[in-house]
Amino acid sequence: MTLHRLDPSAAEPIIEPVAADRVLAGAPQTIVRVTYDAPAERLCAGEWEAGVGTWRVSYEEWEYCLVTAGRCIVTGDDGTRIEAGPGDSFVLEPGFSGTWEVVEPMRKHWVIRTP
């Protein structure tokens, strides 16, 4: 098959708190729904939700994000900063490290390619 509908409502939700050793503020919880998985191509896609809070992140993968609800601020250790809300998109590249702050409960669509 070469055409896939990405339907978050059909995907099993994975509900987890952000690991305590990464949390800087709040008690954020995430919900992940994987809507496409192609391990041979090292590619997957889905929907992600998170509650208010701030935590450390470190990326080994490439990720495209499209915010569909809420607001976040992603800040790199080098000082780069993106504030994003509904309709905004951005890319995180391998080697990125910094903080992810959810200002308003948010949802995003994502596509990840692993190395």
Whether the per-residue pLDDT at 67 is higher than 90: the answer is yes
Q: Which of 9, 93, 71 is nearest to 46 (CA)?
A: 9
Where are the domains positioned within the chain? 11-113
Are residues 61 and 112 in contact, defined by beta-carbon separation less than 8 angstroms?
A: yes
Residue 112, pLDDT score: 98
pLDDT-derived band at 2, boundaries 50, 70, 90? confident
Residue range 11-113 forms a domain whose CATH class is: mainly beta
Whether the per-residue pLDDT at 1 is higher than 80: the answer is no
Average pLDDT on 53-61 reads 98
